[in-house]
Structure 1
Amino acid sequence: MDVSPRLLRYFVAVAEELHFGRAAARLYVSQPSLSQQIRKLEHDLGTALFVRSSRRVRLTAAGRALALEAPVVLGALARAVELTRLAGSGPTTSVRLGYTPVTGLETLSTLLSALQADHPTLTVVPREVFSGEIPERLGDGDIDLGLALSPQLRDGLDGELLREEPVSALLGAHHRLAAEPAIPLQRLSGEKLLLFPRPLAPVYYDSIVAACRAAGFLPDVRTFDEPPVSAMLARLPSGHEVGLAPSAFAEEAARTGTGIVRRDVVGPAITARLSLVWDSSHPSPVRAGVVATARRCARRNGWLRRTTPSPARG
């Protein structure tokens, strides 16, 4: 029996949304057409996949079984296509990946492992680059892809949002707020806030300042000279400053640093967004394969919220 990938994609959309209207909008097809295709799939399989009523849609036992297997089949097919394209591009391929220092080892290592699994003939050359430098490095051809914190995309660049996470506070273990289980953003009024210098990630920096203003105060921002990561971690144990950083990085810093603790920040939301960025004016099957793997990696590891905005353009 032949079941087309298109029918499986339609089924997966309805199974995830449990609503034919939302699934149709997600697939850019009409709702009657989607319903017809699902009925065709059920006819081909000889079993009902959904129980439909005027108020709700739910999976049958057969539908639940297919919902587990269909994404695996579609993922394997996508991987086969990408590997074929990579093989056709030459016997050896490589990409230069610029990454921001606050990517966090967990994010970067997880992505590199996924790329190795999906593209065993691909060599990834990581290069540490600040987020604010990535657009220029891409334009100059110094890197092929950039892993940037809240990038600002200019003309000719495109991006794929990979991770959204809250911003956490990093404090010396003897800081007066270190005993708090979570810190309201308003409590940071009057504190010396240690941030990565604005040119390294302008959109991210501005989002923190805007959140502080929304909380009713103008932040007393302190920055530091290069190298920024080690400079931040060296200054925090003194207990005179509070660092603000993406949660994944903050967790690693608190786990590996001496005399540093991480605390959640509550109040006006501050979100750090990590995106994969590339020069869209030069299509590349190798890069397309990397982006597809990164997208699956983000979904598999739960890095994205259900609804996410695109990287800023400007």
Structure 2
Amino acid sequence: MSIDINPRLLRYFLAVAEELHFGRAAMRLYVSQPSLSHQIRKLEEILGTPLFVRSSRSVQLTAAGRTLLKEAPTALAGLEQAVERTRLAGSGVATTIRLGYTPVANFGTFTVLLDALQEEHPDFTFDAREIFSAEIPERICAGDLDVGLALSPPPIDGVDGEILRRETVSALLSTRHRLAVAPKIPLAELRDETLQLFPRRLAPAYYDGIVAACQEAGFSPKICAFEDPSVNPMLARLASGREVGLAPASFAEHAGKASTGVTARDVVDPQIAADLSILWPTNDPSPAIASVLDTARRCAERHRWLRGVG
């Protein structure tokens, strides 16, 4: 059986379901209360079941109403995506997105985001390039990239951004290290260790944040700036026990699993924040870029990437 439901009816339903008050929902929708009540009754007639239990004192969802409240947002989002794809296809805008991403996003963030982008935008082509964080804003400003994923990127005129993923920093160390058995490592415990980091020029704000956190913990860190950006040589040095790496938790977790001689441990007291931002051109992004940003925000919400540090 085919049921034809106007999307407006679902939006009206969601407003009442969220407010549980027809008057407040009507004000929120800028419609009259009698008109809203009529539209809800129409939806109930189409579905063949009551959605609300109404009384003079309260409005409550029925079992059917609770089910629709769970399903309606997904249905509306799918419709909006279909409309946006159709509009983009008809507008003739370029659908190749040049996306630059920092190497640390390659573990647990970029691949998840790319899967979501390809699922929601099958008509887009994504030209993905691995680039260090400090270079990404400049490349966007120069017109070489459309969107970027950068770790604590430096601000630059002509580029906008927002945090896509906020997480803590973890320690990567040899499984033979004295702290390898600790469930969590106070940062002060690393005062006598040599810390392995990328050179400051590749992610200045992230590097400076780690130095500041060490100073807050009561010591000035000894840092080995590892010039070779390849992951395997870094892990080999960590496995030997010569240094302790500090990296965003998602990167550290995947790197620890990838090497039999390295393990990851949470760093506390103080925790260090690692913010991965999504960047785009300031001057009115194209509809295609706006669609990519919408998908990225939904992806961040779905995976709870912004749950914070603390």
Change in Cα spacing, 1:34 to 1:201, as seen in structure 2 (3 Å) is: same
- Which has the higher Rg, Structure 1 or Structure 2? 2
TM-score w.r.t. the length of structure 2 is 0.81
Picking from 231, 253, 259, the partner of 2:255 is 253
Corresponding residue for residue 290 of structure 1: 292
Q: Cα distance, 1:50 vs. partner? A: 9.1
Q: Which runs of 5+ in 2 are unaligned?
A: 45-49
1:158 and 1:196 mapped to 2: Cα distance? 25
Corresponding residue for residue 117 of structure 1: 119
Corresponding residue for residue 27 of structure 2: 33
Corresponding residue for residue 221 of structure 2: 219
Q: Cα distance, 1:267 vs. partner? A: 1.8
Corresponding residue for residue 275 of structure 1: 277
Q: Cα distance, 1:162 vs. partner? A: 1.8
When the two chains are superposed, the root-mean-square deviation of aligned CA atoms in Å is 3.3
2:163 and 2:155 mapped to 1: Cα distance? 12
The SS at the match of 2:231 is helix
Corresponding residue for residue 47 of structure 2: none
Paired-residue identity, %:
52
2:167 and 2:69 mapped to 1: Cα distance? 28
Q: Cα distance, 1:282 vs. partner? A: 4.7
The 8 Å contact of residues 138 and 156 in structure 2, kept in 1 or not, is answered as: no
The 8 Å contact of residues 11 and 38 in structure 1, kept in 2 or not, is answered as: no
Q: Which runs of 5+ in 1 are unaligned?
A: 21-29, 309-314
TM-score w.r.t. the length of structure 1 is 0.80
Picking from 220, 232, 235, the partner of 1:233 is 235
The 8 Å contact of residues 85 and 121 in structure 2, kept in 1 or not, is answered as: yes
Q: Cα distance, 1:223 vs. partner? A: 1.0
Q: Cα distance, 1:277 vs. partner? A: 0.4
Q: Mean alpha-carbon deviation: is it higher for 270-279 or for 124-133?
A: 270-279
Change in Cα spacing, 1:33 to 1:155, as seen in structure 2 (3 Å) is: farther
Stretches (4+) displaced over 6 A: 35-39
Corresponding residue for residue 147 of structure 2: 145
The SS at the match of 2:108 is helix
Change in Cα spacing, 1:63 to 1:155, as seen in structure 2 (3 Å) is: farther
Change in Cα spacing, 1:6 to 1:257, as seen in structure 2 (3 Å) is: same
The SS at the match of 1:153 is coil
Q: Report the residue type matching 2:115 in the other structure.
A: S
Change in Cα spacing, 1:44 to 1:165, as seen in structure 2 (3 Å) is: farther
Count of residues in correspondence between the two structures: 292
Q: Cα distance, 1:45 vs. partner? A: 5.0
Picking from 70, 73, 76, the partner of 1:74 is 76
Corresponding residue for residue 87 of structure 2: 85
Q: Cα distance, 1:288 vs. partner? A: 1.1
The 8 Å contact of residues 93 and 288 in structure 2, kept in 1 or not, is answered as: no
Change in Cα spacing, 1:119 to 1:243, as seen in structure 2 (3 Å) is: same
The 8 Å contact of residues 225 and 231 in structure 1, kept in 2 or not, is answered as: no
Q: Report the residue type matching 1:33 in the other structure.
A: M
